[in-house]
């Protein structure tokens, strides 16, 4: 989860795209249902559905191993699902995967460009792969679009993490895709570069490009128009930040005082407590059942030096609680 020092201040609100452009279409860039992908008999993506309007930025969240990368690879036509169907950019996922790939920009987690080529040479290479008709002009246009023109002769290997990610984004924009699938594009990137990267994403969305972007950073989640959250391959929550927080129906106690770490452990195993997490100087204790939650904190309320208050749930409280609920369901199924 996001360390406070790594935080990028979110804007007051994520701006809406200028227009959801959908000439002749449904207005949906992604419209899939029932997507399932199995490895070794295990469904790592399980009955996944998503509808995403064009020009929107959707954050894709979930713990490591929850199936985000696999879902992104299915959506860009690189993996064939074992079940499910739908359309990406108006093209049927099952029958038009090669056409989908040509219109989608997919940014992998790992930097996949050549360290020993310059920025320009890397983009020229990508232009050749896509057999772009006017390659030099496309490279010039892309360098300018992402503010990379002045650095075009630098070797990619000499770039800082943030500039490398910007080059990787440039590479997936070379063929002018209308949908971007970005897999943790800012992992390990410093806060200033993350902020610049997100400004860029918003500028692209304002041009009508749709973005589905996976991230572990809560401040980045706050910069998305909407969010989806998966765990164990299952979609657990979907909507705007406000809708997801309201939908979770969490009650939260905040406690401040000495030795909060010692309080956390017993609270985590108390009935009705779904999440215990530190935020700055406070510990949040959250659950859905108010009576159970109050009973869980009651024995600690009288402890000297502690200040207790009720507070609003934040996204991280909700996501930790969702995992706890999903694990409960999982355990319940196994026990049945």
Q: Which residues bind ligand ADP (CB under 6 A)?
A: 39, 44, 62, 64-70
Cα–Cα distance for residue pair 261/197, rounded to 1 Å: 35
Q: Shortest distance, CB of residue 81 to ligand ADP, whole angstroms?
A: 13
CB-wise, 22 or 44, nearer to ligand ADP? 44
Cβ-Cβ contacts under 8 Å for 175 (sequence gap 6 or more): 102, 105, 126, 130, 132, 138
What's the number of CA atoms in the CB half-sphere (13 Å) around residue 248? 32
User: How many helices and strands, by DSSP H and E, does the chain display?
Assistant: 11, 14
What DSSP string describes 83-119? EEEEEETTEETTT-HHHHHHHEEEE-SS--S-TTSBH
Q: Shortest distance, CB of residue 97 to ligand ADP, whole angstroms?
A: 17
**Which helix or strand (DSSP H or E) is residue 262 part of?**
helix 260-268
CB-wise, 61 or 270, nearer to ligand ADP? 61
Q: Shortest distance, CB of residue 176 to ligand ADP, whole angstroms?
A: 27
CB-wise, 66 or 142, nearer to ligand ADP? 66
Q: Shortest distance, CB of residue 186 to ligand ADP, whole angstroms?
A: 15
CB-wise, 142 or 214, nearer to ligand ADP? 214
Identify whether the C-beta of residue 11 lies closer than 8 Å to the C-beta of residue 75.
Answer: no
Phi, psi of 247 (to 5 degrees): -65, -30
- CA-nearest of 214, 247, 231, 235 to 315 is 247
CB-wise, 64 or 269, nearer to ligand ADP? 64
CB-wise, 22 or 78, nearer to ligand ADP? 78
Q: Shortest distance, CB of residue 215 to ligand ADP, whole angstroms?
A: 11
Q: Shortest distance, CB of residue 229 to ligand ADP, whole angstroms?
A: 11
CB-wise, 62 or 272, nearer to ligand ADP? 62
CB-wise, 65 or 266, nearer to ligand ADP? 65
Q: Beta strand pairing status for 210-214 and 57-61?
A: parallel
Q: Shortest distance, CB of residue 325 to ligand ADP, whole angstroms?
A: 18
Q: Shortest distance, CB of residue 61 to ligand ADP, whole angstroms?
A: 9
- CA-nearest of 307, 285, 283 to 294 is 285
Query: 18 — alpha (psi -120 to 50), left (phi > 0) or beta?
Result: alpha
Place of tokens 């040509």: 102
- CA-nearest of 225, 229, 163 to 196 is 163
CB-wise, 65 or 299, nearer to ligand ADP? 65
Identify whether the C-beta of residue 258 lies closer than 8 Å to the C-beta of residue 244.
Answer: no
Q: What are the b/e assignments for 301-326, b being 16+ CB within 10 Å?
A: eeeeebebeebebbbbbbbbbbbbbb
Q: Shortest distance, CB of residue 47 to ligand ADP, whole angstroms?
A: 15
């Amino acid at each position: 989860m996001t360390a406070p020092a790594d935080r990028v201040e979110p804007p007051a609100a994520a701006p809406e795209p200028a227009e959801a452009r959908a000439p002749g279409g449904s207005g949906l860039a992604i419209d899939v249902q029932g997507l399932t992908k199995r490895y070794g008999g295990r469904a790592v993506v399980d009955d996944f559905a998503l509808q995403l309007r064009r020009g929107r930025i959707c954050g894709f969240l979930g713990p490591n191993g929850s199936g985000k990368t696999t879902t992104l690879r299915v959506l860009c036509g690189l993996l064939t699902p074992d079940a499910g169907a739908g359309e990406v950019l108006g093209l049927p996922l099952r029958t038009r995967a090669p056409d989908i790939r040509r219109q989608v920009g997919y940014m992998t987690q790992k930097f996949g460009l050549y360290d020993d080529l310059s920025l320009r040479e890397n983009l020229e290479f990508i232009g050749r792969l896509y057999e772009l008709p006017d390659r030099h002009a496309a490279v010039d246009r892309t360098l300018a679009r992402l503010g990379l023109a002045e650095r075009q002769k630098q070797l990619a290997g000499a770039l800082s993490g943030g500039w490398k990610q910007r080059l990787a984004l440039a590479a997936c924009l070379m063929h002018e895709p209308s949908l971007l699938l970005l897999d943790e594009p800012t992992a390990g990137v410093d806060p200033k570069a993350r902020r610049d990267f997100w400004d860029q994403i918003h500028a692209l969305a304002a041009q009508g490009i749709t973005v589905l972007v996976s991230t572990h950073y809560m401040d980045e989640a706050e910069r998305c128009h909407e969010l989806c959250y998966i765990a164990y391959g299952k979609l657990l929550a979907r909507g705007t930040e406000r809708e997801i927080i309201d939908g979770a129906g969490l009650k939260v106690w905040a406690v401040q005082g000495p030795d909060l770490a010692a309080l956390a452990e017993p609270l985590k195993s108390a009935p009705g407590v779904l999440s215990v997490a530190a935020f700055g100087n406070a510990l949040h204790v959250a659950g859905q059942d108010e009576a159970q939650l109050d009973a869980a904190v009651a024995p600690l309320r009288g402890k000297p030096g502690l200040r207790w208050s009720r507070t609003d749930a934040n996204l991280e409280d909700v996501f930790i609680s969702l995992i706890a609920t999903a694990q409960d369901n999982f355990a319940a199924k196994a026990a049945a």
